[in-house]
Amino acid sequence: MRKVCSVNLEKGLPTVDAAVRDMVGKLGTYKRQGYRALVFIHGWGSSGTGGGIRTGVRKKLGERSLSGLVYGYCGGEDWHSCRKEYTGYCSQLKQYEREIDQNPGVTVVLLK
């Protein structure tokens, strides 16, 4: 069974609010389907200083309202410090390391 899914939140160029709502919906859907981790692709802004979707996604992931769904999350730029714990929780994340490592345009989420 697949335990990891990559989800592109930038598809269709949504607003920040729409992308965050989409992310929250996907968290519940994939948790119910038995997934252990999601790799959200949100970009990091054309200026290189941080995109709105990235900021909105990470802010929402830090809220208590998602504590029943989210075990933890890590930005691709911090993957080196999260890698061991996250691949220990879900070994299939190793297949996504090229996409994740040092990539500020993605966020890895572990589901409870």
Instruction: Dump the DSSP string for 11-68.
Output: TT---HHHHHHHHHHHHHHHHHTT--EEEEE----TTSS--HHHHHHHHHHTSGGGTT
DSSP 2: -
Strands 37-41 and 70-75: unpaired
Is the pLDDT score of 50 beyond 70? Answer: no
Structure tokens at 52: 């709105």
The residues with which 28 forms a beta bridge, in sequence order, are none
Residue boundaries of the structural domains of the chain: 4-111
The whole model's pTM is what?
0.92
Average pLDDT over residues 13-33: 95
Higher confidence at residue 43 or residue 109? 109
Say how far residue 60 (Cα) sits from the centre of its chain: 11
Residue 18 · residue 51 · CB < 8 Å: no
Domain 4-111 belongs to what topology?
A: Ribosomal Protein S8; Chain: A, domain 1 (3.30.1370)
- The pLDDT mean for the chain works out to 93
